[in-house]
Amino acid sequence: MPFPSDLEIAQSAERKPLVDIAAEMGIGAHHLEPYGDSLAKIKLSALEELADRPKARYVVVSAITPTPLGEGKTTTTVGLGQAFRHIGKQAVVAVRQPSMGPTFGIKGGAAGGGYSQVVPMELLNLHLTGDFHAVTAAHNLLAAVIDNHLHKGNELGLDLSDITWRRVMDVNDRALRNIVIGLGGREDGVTRQTGFDITAASEVMAVLALATSLADVRDRLGRIVVGYTRDGSPVTASDLRAAGAMAAMLREAVSPNLLQTLEHTPVLVHAGPFGNIAHGNSSILADLIGIRGGDYLVTEAGFGADMGAERFFNIKCRTSGLLPDAAVVVATVRALKAHSGRHKVVAGRPLPEAMLVENPDEVHSGGANLRKQIDNIRVHGVTPVVAVNAFPTDHPSEWRAISEIAESMGVRVAVCTHFADGGSGAVALAEAVAEAAREPSEFRLLYPDDATLRDKIETVATKMYGADGVSYTPQAARQLDTYERNGFGHLPVCIAKTHLSLSSDPALKGAPTGWTLPVREVRASVGAGFVYPICGDMRTMPGLGTNPAAFSIDVDDDGTIVGLS
């Protein structure tokens, strides 16, 4: 009998009333705002009621450098959250809201998979409670205010060649990456070049994810820099008198969303900052609620430990003040075989046949990447645990190879079958994480606030990526000087690079050495609270493939969604 699809599993699941799910976290029904019978928002007033409850152990789920197919990090996060119940512990899961760009593109949704999913998965992947739309609208309101300001005389003296604020939408559309607006007559606005990014790359989304209250959202929105005058002075959303209206549009979106797993573990879904450009973590507000809601709070950081986990530690934890107790590094046979350099994995295509042949030696050949990502966790003083996300096409000898790599570094490791078996398939992982989380925390940031921006970039490049150093284009050097001069030097850095390699070159697998990180441009997300150097050819607006997932998604005669993955 064929294994059912993720959508079939999700749609056949029995869900508990959300008031019961919330009650397990110590949250009363009066703090819930229902959205139908399967979704709810948690009012921020719940924070006061939870304040006296003990803090949970704080666990972040990261990974080795993934293949373009992804290695099941969300599935592992959900499976681990479910597994804690099997060992007599209560967990809360906190994850990002999926962007509909990937959902309709190649990647598909991000609700987990198999019997380790967040439900209802179709609502999670399509709109949820409208937070992405609120971010899109608030972002584009500011864009409209900018162009209206230009049309009405440009009193603030914005340099048309140095306006950094673009527009956003939650769809993959490469044709909108670079556009000219204001064409037509005089009343149609000022003609200038701009473009669109995907909503997950919006600074407003990063603001939502890093804020600690609605008042903090309002303050951060006001600090957003939209461009510069000819003398290099920043112009902000507050200067344009747009921040208040933007905050009003986000008044509902600031509240985290409550869902559940297939096994009724509470799940907080909130915000969805882009994993390459922004810091790629779910919201601080969700974590501030979840940290008081059980014995363990399990959250997920985007891409590999060099990216999402580094930003979790140095941006999110720096802002929230919450200290992690353990970190999971998800590893797969197929990814480590890819890091041997002998196979090419392409999104949307089957794995190469040679990759499915039993070959533990190839796993060992790619093991340098796992070792580096373990080191990337340890350099922050956090205890790592390796989760082997088992696939049916793997061989037990290959799982043993991953275990041997982890054990050679003195790291706990567990082979997990949570995709097929749900929480029971991750019990060994839950036990290992529980042990790791009981070890004394020695958490430390990678760099101090008062280091220069160049020092911060070079610290991340050399310590996390294994680069020999950093090179800057003349443009990037000028931008860094401008940001330091304007008082942005205290901000952490969020380096935008490929997620497919520890380096800035996606073709370099394993743990490459002898290379230099090329910084071609630097942007400042002052409202969100970080500076992001852009390395290599990074896209902030993805495109659709030849056969995007959108071709398979439909509704039947009863209005039930079909074809979603």
Q: Are 313 and 391 in a shared domain?
A: yes
503: containing domain: 453-535
The CB density around residue 100, as the number of other CB atoms within 10 Å, is 24
DSSP state of 178: S
Query: Tell me, what's the pLDDT at 1?
Result: 66
Domain CATH number, residue 87:
3.40.50.300
With 70 as the cut, is the pLDDT of residue 456 above it? yes
Q: What is the mean pLDDT of residues 407-419?
A: 98
Q: What is the mean pLDDT of residues 231-247?
A: 97
With 90 as the cut, is the pLDDT of residue 240 above it? yes
User: Does residue 447 lie within any of the structural domains?
Assistant: no
Q: What is the mean pLDDT of residues 95-110?
A: 86
In the chain, how many domains are there? 3
Q: Are 119 and 230 in a shared domain?
A: no
Work out the angle at residue 110's Cα, subtended by the Cα atoms of residues 104 and 115, and round it to the nearest 5 degrees: 125
Query: Tell me, what's the pLDDT at 101?
Result: 84
Query: Tell me, what's the pLDDT at 133?
Result: 98
| Distance between CA atoms of residues 227 and 479, nearest Å | 12
Q: Are 11 and 81 in a shared domain?
A: yes
Query: Tell me, what's the pLDDT at 473?
Result: 97
Predicted TM-score (pTM) of the model is 0.96
Higher pLDDT, 553 or 257: 257
Q: Are 139 and 126 in a shared domain?
A: no
Q: What is the mean pLDDT of residues 100-119?
A: 88
3-state secondary structure 45-106: CHHHHHCCCCCCEEEEEEECCCCCCCCCHHHHHHHHHHHHHHCCCCEEEEECCCCHHHHHCC
pLDDT bin (cut points 50, 70, 90) of residue 536 is confident
With 80 as the cut, is the pLDDT of residue 58 above it? yes
Mean pLDDT of the residues in the chain? 95
With 90 as the cut, is the pLDDT of residue 102 above it? no
User: Does residue 140 lie within any of the structural domains?
Assistant: yes
Q: Are 389 and 505 in a shared domain?
A: no
Query: Tell me, what's the pLDDT at 110?
Result: 86
Q: Are 198 and 318 in a shared domain?
A: no
With 70 as the cut, is the pLDDT of residue 42 above it? yes
Q: Are 115 and 164 in a shared domain?
A: no
Lowest mean pLDDT among 469-478, 494-503, 554-563: 554-563
Query: Tell me, what's the pLDDT at 537?
Result: 79
